[in-house]
Amino acid sequence: MNFECFFPPRAGLTLAGERSRDARVLFPGDAHAQYRGRFARPHVTSSRPESVRPDGSEISTLDIFSYKKKVMAPASSMCELVCLVLFWELRSSGTVEAANTRPHIIFILADDYGWNDVGFHGSNQIPTPNIDALAYSGVILHNYYVMPVCTPSRAALMTGRHPIHNGMQHEVLYAQCPWGLPLSEKLLPEYLKEMNYSTRMVGKWHLGHFKAVYTPTYRGFDSHYGYWVGHQDYYDHTSQENPLYWGYDMRHGVNNVSWSSYGRYTTDLFSEEAVRIIQDHDDSQPLFLYLAHLATHSGNPYMPLQAPAEVVHQFDYINDTRRRTFAGNYLIITICPPGMVSKLDESVGMVVSALKEKGMLDNSIIVFSTDNGGPTNGFDNNMASNWPLRGIKDTVWEGAVRGVGLVWSPLIPGPSRVANHLMHIQDWLPTLLGAANYTGGQFNFNEGVTPLLDLSREPTNMKAYVKR
């Protein structure tokens, strides 16, 4: 696939016809999609002339597709959450035989990202063209669930287990907490290393650091550039949780504190590191890149919402000053939540472009997810939006636990579409291991569901697994 990023966010477009909804890929020309009234032009083209329909017939390069459009579905209660995950049918032979053919896995995790702060959910305030391009040419997870706050969600993602069973069912970890994700838990990168994956992490950890063995490079990652705690200032990279716990937290691994990062915007630093990892990647290994952004989490209380001035000025059209600006306690500086989202979207585009330039994109799986719902209306010094969902981060309402999520890959058969199947963040571990053809035996958990469902088509005679 050729993925053209950084395209103008407000291009006009029309819908493709229903006649071509079985196409697997987008071809040169205009291919358009609509989701909840929001339009975008994904600018994705195919470099695979052998692309075929599910019945095996070839697709003319003049064909375009639109995924089946769905309106908002009634939300299910948490007790009825069906843990369904993807079954990945690889085009070549249905399995992945050799290490060098295993898919590259890129997992981009946004922090505190609100349901209504992304274009493909209908936001008309903050353009997110690069995230939308992945969504419109991939699979939008319309009924995707997460935990209400960061640490439990990240623990579920890394272990494939619900927090009540991995010991992280509490609130978030604070800097002074003398515990972390139990060492008895085997994490996603540890599974992937058994299949010769290069495992790289960039960004926020938040699963414990009171001893070195709890930190990322001791838990399966070959490298980590980022921070250990729950948040930091976007420029000075200190974390202030209360007057007693305030310190610099930006590092490479355990002992190499990155003082050179001081003064540079966190999202830019993480984006550049992710691009560098992709550019320097050894082609003989599959890559697992876990990019856990600070955006759009608040920074420290004295300056919670920060973005570069040149980005902030792009959003002068937003009339609600609470949404557009937020002044620090003693610094008279205009800062802007939309700017934080815009830089996050730019980062997604940079990563996808780097994959394309390296020749890795055609064999990649890209997941974009939030860790929990957005903190709205000033909660946690933030101005996210979860409309029309009720509730905010740190509650049990939909606004906290129903998250922004999508998956994109040329390896997923069938057209782009909106998937209404219920899925939980803990399901990613078995899903991604299934995509990589993991053969290491039984997992050490029983909550995450082994890949059963191909989200490239509507379910028929589907067996639902319900946790009550």
The residue that leads in pLDDT, 234 or 331, is 234
Distance (Å, whole) CA 246 – CA 127: 34
Q: DSSP 3-state assignment of 252?
A: strand
Cβ neighbours around 268 below 10 Å, total: 15
Closest CA to 24 of 438, 428, 413, 431: 413
pLDDT of residue 444: 56
**200 has pLDDT over 60:** yes
310-329 average pLDDT score: 57
295 near 111, Cβ under 8 Å? Answer: yes
19-36 average pLDDT score: 29
pLDDT of residue 443: 62
The residue that leads in pLDDT, 295 or 377, is 295
Annotate 260-298 with DSSP letters as a single string: GGTTS-HHHHHHHHHHHHHHT--TTS-EEEEEE--TTS-
The residue count of the chain comes to: 468
**408 has pLDDT over 50:** yes
**128 has pLDDT over 90:** yes
**83 has pLDDT over 90:** no
Q: Which domains are delineated in the chain? A: 77-435 (3.40.720.10)
Model confidence at 225, pLDDT cuts 50, 70, 90, reads: very high
All residues at 6 or more sequence positions from 227 whose CB lies less than 8 Å from its CB, including other chains: 203, 204, 205, 237, 239, 249, 250, 251, 294
322-343 average pLDDT score: 50
pLDDT of residue 216: 98
Closest CA to 108 of 382, 359, 398, 364: 364
Model confidence at 88, pLDDT cuts 50, 70, 90, reads: very low
355-366 average pLDDT score: 97
Model confidence at 413, pLDDT cuts 50, 70, 90, reads: confident
pLDDT of residue 439: 83
Distance (Å, whole) CA 208 – CA 216: 9
Q: At what angle do helices 266-279 and 337-358 cross, to 10 degrees?
A: 10
Model confidence at 217, pLDDT cuts 50, 70, 90, reads: very high
What percentage of the chain exceeds 70 in pLDDT?
A: 67
Model confidence at 449, pLDDT cuts 50, 70, 90, reads: low
**254 has pLDDT over 60:** yes
- Selecting among 150, 224, 231, 237, the annotated active-site residue is 150
The angle formed by the CA atoms of residues 423, 417 and 457, to the nearest 5 degrees, is: 75
Residue 86: DSSP 8-state: B
Q: DSSP 3-state assignment of 401?
A: helix
Question: Each residue of 398-420: b (16+ CB within 10 Å) or e?
Answer: bbbbbbbbbbbbbbbbbbbbbbb
Model confidence at 171, pLDDT cuts 50, 70, 90, reads: confident
**184 has pLDDT over 50:** yes
The residue that leads in pLDDT, 417 or 26, is 417
User: What does pTM read for this prediction?
Assistant: 0.78
pLDDT of residue 447: 60
- Selecting among 104, 206, 281, 424, the annotated active-site residue is 206
**202 has pLDDT over 70:** yes
Distance (Å, whole) CA 131 – CA 345: 6
Question: Of all helices (H) and strands (E), which one includes residue 142?
Answer: strand 139-145
403 near 373, Cβ under 8 Å? Answer: yes
105-123 average pLDDT score: 94
Asked about 206 being catalytic, the answer comes back as yes
pLDDT of residue 27: 23
The residue that leads in pLDDT, 266 or 241, is 266
Region of poorest pLDDT, from 128-137, 167-176, 335-344, 379-388: 335-344
Asked about 83 being catalytic, the answer comes back as no
**76 has pLDDT over 50:** no
- Most confident option among 20-24, 204-208, 318-322, 452-456: 204-208
Closest CA to 431 of 407, 414, 463, 461: 407
**406 has pLDDT over 70:** yes
The residue that leads in pLDDT, 124 or 132, is 132
What percentage of the chain exceeds 90 in pLDDT?
A: 50
Mean pLDDT across the chain, nearest whole number?
A: 75
pLDDT of residue 414: 75
Closest CA to 153 of 112, 192, 194: 112
**73 has pLDDT over 70:** no
326-336 average pLDDT score: 32
